[in-house]
Structures are given as structure tokens and as C-alpha cells.
């Protein structure tokens, strides 16, 4: 378990995106977290905090053939999947971000999607999506708006801090996207 000092030092680290490279299939889904947590920034792996339910939901929904550990994130591009974040700044909690960071992240996502061209951009966190894309009334699920040919989908935040979601409801939400992602 990392020390408090190690976690605080991780605030200054950037977490690289997990994107397809040469030889990988075209991306089906680019998952987009709100921002890196301190454990993720420290380890260099997305959704790495113990208790985060992203990896179990990804597996339970059929996106991965088995439960991946955060350190195995490099296997995702081979499955047509990737990971990025709305905001790059690592924090202990997403509510430490301000709206300007999320709006700037929405602009960065538009550029990244135009470059990477996934079939779907799946934002995990309705509040972050609403601010980043200026859609204050958006609901979870498939969005009417598209980014060029890329569809937008909003998933519940898989953080263990999000007590509104159970592993079963998260898996069901991810499964709905999986069914539509082809």
C-alpha cells in the first residue's frame, strides 16, 4: 500500500492514454475516465485504486475474455479498446477538479477522437460528461450527439466512492454498450 507521501507526490504525474498502435484493430470503444486518481498516477495504470470496479465491469460485460488487472491495460488495444481521461490532473477525488478543467478536457477529447476514430467514446461519469460537452441534461446511456462518426455513450462512474452503483448495475450498463459496440 502506498504511503500518503507517495500518493501526494503522484499529483504531479501524467497518466498516458492507452491507445491502439500499428497492428492493432481499429478501436471499437475508447473508455474515458474523469481523471486519474492518485493510485493510478502513482502506478501508471488506469483505474488502479483498489475498490474501483472498472476492470470487473469490463470483464462481466464481455469486453475482455477474463478479468484484467490494471497492470494489463496494454492488452486492451489488441481487443479494439482504449482508455483516456477527460482531465489529465491526478486528484484524490474527481470533485477536486473545476469546471474549466473539464471543459478543456472536452476540447481535447474532440481532437483525440478525430485522430483515433473509435466507434464509441464511453465517458464514465455523467457529471463530467455534462460539463465537458455542455450537455447539462444528459442522462446515462447512448447520446444523440456524435463526434463525427463516433458515437457517445455515458456510463456510471465505476469508482468505489460511487455508492449509487453496484457491481451488477455497472456490469449491466457496460453490457448495454458492449451489445451496441459490435
Please report the DSSP string for 75-105 in residue order.
Answer: GGGGGTEEEEES----BSSGGGS-HHHHHHH
pLDDT in tens, 122-131: 999 999 999 9
User: Is pLDDT of 157 > 90?
Assistant: no
Q: Which pLDDT score, from 0 to 100, does residue 164 have?
A: 78
**Which pLDDT band, with edges at 50, 70 and 90, does 163 fall under?**
low
Q: What percent of the chain has pLDDT over 70?
A: 97
Q: Which pLDDT score, from 0 to 100, does residue 53 have?
A: 92
Q: What percent of the chain has pLDDT over 90?
A: 87
What's 151's DSSP letter? E
Q: Which pLDDT score, from 0 to 100, does residue 160 have?
A: 65
Q: Taking CA 171 as the corner, what is the angle to CA 60 and CA 38, rounded to the nearest 5 degrees?
A: 95
Report whether 61 contacts 178 (CB < 8 A).
yes
Q: Which pLDDT score, from 0 to 100, does residue 165 have?
A: 84
Contacts of 162 (CB under 8 A, 6+ apart): 156
In the structure grid, which three cell numbers stand for residue 35, read together?
A: 481523471
Print the SS3 string covering 113-131. Answer: HHHHCCCEEEEECHHHHHH
Q: Which pLDDT score, from 0 to 100, does residue 161 have?
A: 67
Contacts of 132 (CB under 8 A, 6+ apart): 86, 102, 103, 105, 106, 109, 123
Amino acid at each position: 500500500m502506498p504511503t500518503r507521501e507517495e500518493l501526494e507526490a503522484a499529483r504531479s504525474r501524467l497518466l498516458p492514454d492507452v491507445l491502439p498502435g500499428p497492428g492493432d484493430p481499429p478501436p471499437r470503444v475508447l473508455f474515458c475516465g474523469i481523471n486519474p486518481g492518485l493510485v493510478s498516477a502513482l502506478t501508471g495504470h488506469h483505474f488502479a485504486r483498489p475498490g474501483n470496479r472498472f476492470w470487473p465491469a469490463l470483464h462481466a460485460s464481455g469486453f475482455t475474455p477474463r478479468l484484467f488487472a490494471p497492470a494489463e491495460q496494454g492488452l486492451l488495444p489488441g481487443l479494439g479498446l482504449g482508455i483516456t481521461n477527460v482531465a489529465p490532473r491526478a486528484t484524490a477525488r474527481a470533485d477536486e477538479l473545476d469546471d474549466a478543467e473539464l471543459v478543456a478536457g472536452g476540447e481535447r477529447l474532440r481532437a483525440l477522437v478525430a485522430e483515433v476514430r473509435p466507434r464509441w467514446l464511453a465517458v464514465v461519469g455523467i457529471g463530467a460528461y455534462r460539463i465537458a460537452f455542455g450537455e447539462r441534461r444528459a442522462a446515462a446511456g447512448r447520446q444523440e450527439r456524435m463526434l463525427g462518426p463516433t458515437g457517445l455513450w455515458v456510463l456510471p462512474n465505476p469508482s468505489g466512492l460511487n455508492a449509487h452503483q453496484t457491481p451488477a448495475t455497472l456490469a449491466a450498463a457496460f453490457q448495454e454498450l458492449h451489445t451496441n459496440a459490435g
